[in-house]
Amino acid sequence: MTDFPSQPETPDISAPLNLSEAEWRARLSPAQYEVLRNKGTERPWTGALNQNKETGDYHCAGCGAKLFDSDSKFDSGCGWPSFYIPADSTAIAEHEDVSFGMRRVEVTCAKCGGHLGHVFPDGPKPTGLRYCINSLSLSFERR
Ligand code: FE
């Protein structure tokens, strides 16, 4: 048999993205890595997108998946970008988080598992939810 190099498979954009820690470190800035892969939290009021009021889409800074729409962003006053609903119900995964002596619901990117922030039941109508998201976990695309 002729030894042809194997053909790359067509990438499945809906498939989970599993990278090694070395690949994540190469792809992300140290600050992004600390939040997305190490479940860190940026200091309030420091995020570049906290006060962003432009119309567009918020994507995962780790893998590019669309996570939030600017239509659902609201001024929560908490110091982190806040949204009342994800762009798509399958874009985000929720996990119980009992770290730091609190009972919270962590939200992660469903595609790459990156830590985004937490969701709290004190948001505005229509959902009553506040997705409190680290700016470092997001990239913004103007529309
Ligand atoms: Fe992601």
Task: Please give the Cα distance from 3 to 43 (Å, whole number).
Answer: 54
In the sheet with 73-74, reading across from the earlier edge strand, the strands are 73-74, 82-83, 130-133, 115-120, 104-109, 92-97
**Cα 62 to averaged position of ligand 1 atoms, centre (Å):** 5
Where in the sequence is the domain holding 133, given as residue range(s)?
Answer: 56-142
Q: What is the pLDDT of residues 97-143, one digit of tens each?
A: 999 999 999 999 999 999 999 999 999 999 999 999 999 999 999 99
Kindly report the pTM of this predicted structure. 0.89
Interval 25-30 mean pLDDT: 97
* Residues with a known catalytic role: 132
- Cα 60 to ligand 1 centre (Å): 5
CATH number at residue 97: 2.170.150.20
- Report percent pLDDT > 90 for the chain: 88
**What pLDDT sits at residue 3?**
63
Tell me if 63 is assigned to some domain: yes
Q: How many Å lie between the centroid of ligand 1 and the Cα of residue 63? A: 4
* 46 within a domain of the structure (yes/no): no
- Per the domain annotation, does 116 fall within a domain? yes
pLDDT tens digits along 34-76: 999 999 999 999 999 999 999 999 999 999 999 999 999 999 9
Average pLDDT, the chain: 93
The residue-averaged pLDDT of 84-91 equals: 96
CA 88 to ligand 1 centroid distance, Å: 13
Q: Is residue 7 part of a domain?
A: no
Q: Is 79 left (phi over 0), alpha (psi -120 to 50) or beta?
A: left
Count of domains observed in the chain: 1
Dihedral sign, CA of 21, 88, 126, 77?
Answer: positive
6 lies in a domain? no
Residue 2 lies in a domain: no
- Identity (one letter) of the amino acid at 10? T
